[in-house]
Amino acid sequence: MKLAFAHVMCTIDVMNNSDFPRTERSGTGELSHGRPPQTEFTTGLDYPRLGSVTFRRGTLTDNQEALFDEHWPRLGRLLDDAPVNIDEWFGRTGHPTIVEIGSGTGTSTAAMAPLEAETNIVAVELYKPGLAKLLGAVVRNDIDNVRMIRGDGVEVLARMFEPESLDGVRIFFPDPWPKARHHKRRIIQSGTLNLIATRLKPSGVLHVATDHADYAEWIDELVDVEPMLEFKGWPWPEAPLLTDRQVITKFEGKGLDKDHVIREYLWAKN
């Protein structure tokens, strides 16, 4: 199947729908068993190859399970081939939308969302207990501008968001995959940057943070690789979205040491 968005900037071949195993348990946020489908990109750029991260599981407490069963059908969905109708999902029209990839337990997500109440936030994560924690925070604190998608962020962007539909993409502390043989699993790659650029509206912003020195060097090499993204560095006071993550990491709290310098990166879509 070829996704035919009118102003698509790169051609994306997507596996046939029949390759996309639908789970009967999607209402409970369970991913299908087996290897998930991976888009065959035809850009010639580099994309992360999924490792065991895809199969991350974990158990929820009884309380989390009950919250999940009650609220996931409204607030969450699984990766699939149906593009997200943002206005319908958030129940309002014309608001900016930011996708956060790899939201983890959602500490930053839940802390930032109330400060950007006019913005729709979509948290994408593979790890169900992390999503359950964010879901709990969202419900407890009456946060109504956060929705969640369980799945691989690259596939979610490719399959579920139309070109030039996003005002921002955030990737905070992506898995560093420190061993050289695992570097190909790193999410920041030329192809991911290109995919993100296609999904951003003009002037949309990509914000990446890492505390891993070797990953920072890796990103430094890639800051200018995508022609549609203008590297803005850090800080960028005129950034049109919230760039303060609101969270003091354990390293920041203790004072920075040379192994845990936080590096932040901002790009704007041309």
Ligand X SMILES: C[S@@+](CC[C@H](N)C(=O)[O-])C[C@H]1O[C@@H](n2cnc3c(N)ncnc32)[C@H](O)[C@@H]1O
Annotated binding site: 100, 125, 152, 175, 179, 211, 249-252
DSSP code string of 8-35: -SS-EE---GGGSPPPTTGGGTPPPSSP
Judged by beta carbon, residue 136 or residue 174, the one nearer ligand X is: 174
**For ligand X, what does the binding mask look like between residues 31 and 50, x meaning CB under 6 A?**
--------------------
Instruction: Tell me whether strands 166-172 and 97-101 are parallel, antiparallel or unpaired.
Output: parallel
DSSP bridge pairs for 2? 13
Instruction: Tell whether residue 188 is a contact of ligand X (CB under 6 A).
Output: no
Closest approach of Cβ 65 to ligand X, in Å? 19
Closest approach of Cβ 208 to ligand X, in Å? 10
For residue 78, what are the CA distances in angstroms to 73, 149, 233? 10, 5, 33
Tokens of 108: 């930053």
* DSSP H/E element including 214: helix 213-222
Judged by beta carbon, residue 83 or residue 92, the one nearer ligand X is: 83
Judged by beta carbon, residue 25 or residue 49, the one nearer ligand X is: 49
CB 241 within 8 A of CB 168: yes
Judged by beta carbon, residue 177 or residue 267, the one nearer ligand X is: 177
Instruction: Tell whether residue 53 is a contact of ligand X (CB under 6 A).
Output: yes
d(CA 219, CA 263): 10
Name residues contacting ligand X, limited to 208-227 (CB under 6 A): none
Known binding-site residues for S-adenosyl-L-methionine equal 100, 125, 152, 175
Annotation says 19 is catalytic: no
Tokens of 83: 């593009």
Instruction: Tell whether residue 123 is a contact of ligand X (CB under 6 A).
Output: no
19, 69, 81, 175: which one is catalytic? 175
Q: Binding residue for ligand X (CB under 6 A) from 84, 99, 101, 205?
A: 101
Phi-psi region of 102 (alpha: psi -120 to 50; beta: other; left: phi over 0): left
Q: Binding residue for ligand X (CB under 6 A) from 47, 172, 177, 215?
A: 172
Number of chain positions touching ligand X (CB under 6 A): 21
Among residues 249, 215, 219, 252, the alpha carbon closest in space to that of 233 is found at 219
Instruction: Tell whether residue 125 is a contact of ligand X (CB under 6 A).
Output: yes
Question: Residue 87, Cβ neighbours under 10 Å: how many?
Answer: 13
Q: What is the 3-state secondary structure (H, E, C) of 115-184?
A: HHCCCEEEEEECCHHHHHHHHHHHHHCCCCCEEEEECCHHHHHHHHCCCCCEEEEEEECCCCCCCHHHHH
Judged by beta carbon, residue 187 or residue 268, the one nearer ligand X is: 187
Known binding-site residues for substrate equal 179, 211, 249-252
Instruction: Tell whether residue 251 is a contact of ligand X (CB under 6 A).
Output: no
Q: Footprint of ligand X on this chain (CB under 6 A)?
A: 53, 56, 101-104, 107-108, 124-127, 130, 152-154, 172-175, 187
Residues annotated as catalytic (active site), given as ranges = 175
